[in-house]
Amino acid sequence: MRITSKGQVTIPQDVREALGLLPHTEVEITVERGRAVIRPAAGRTSRGARITDHLKTHGAKMRMSSRELLALLRDTPDELDPR
């Protein structure tokens, strides 16, 4: 991998997954024993919280009510009829 003229590098997907780095995750880069070390920023939230935040920000918008969704999940389409 190469460093761009702006000093950017792409973190390989397997490394991002191993560290739980999702888009918009804050990271810190330090030098330890002459090597660059990347890790999630201190005080980070749990992986589950980051996934939830990501879905809230970038997920699909729900176009049905919770009542309609439950009826769909319970396979009772007659409950979807507002009559």
Residue 3 lies in a domain: no
Domain of residue 56: give its range: 13-80
The residue length of the chain stands at: 83
- Give pLDDT, residue 7: 92
C-alpha distances (whole Å) from 41 to each of 6, 22, 78 are: 22, 12, 50
- Give pLDDT, residue 44: 62
Residue 7 lies in a domain: no
d(CA 26, CA 44): 8
Residue 57 lies in a domain: yes
Binned at pLDDT 50, 70 and 90, residue 14 comes out as very high
Residue 42 lies in a domain: yes
d(CA 49, CA 29): 22
Residue 39 lies in a domain: yes
How many domains are there within the chain? 1
Residue 36 lies in a domain: yes
- Give pLDDT, residue 33: 96
- Give pLDDT, residue 57: 79
Residue 5 lies in a domain: no
pLDDT tens track for 21-67: 888 788 889 999 999 998 888 776 677 777 777 777 777 676 778 88
Residue 1 lies in a domain: no
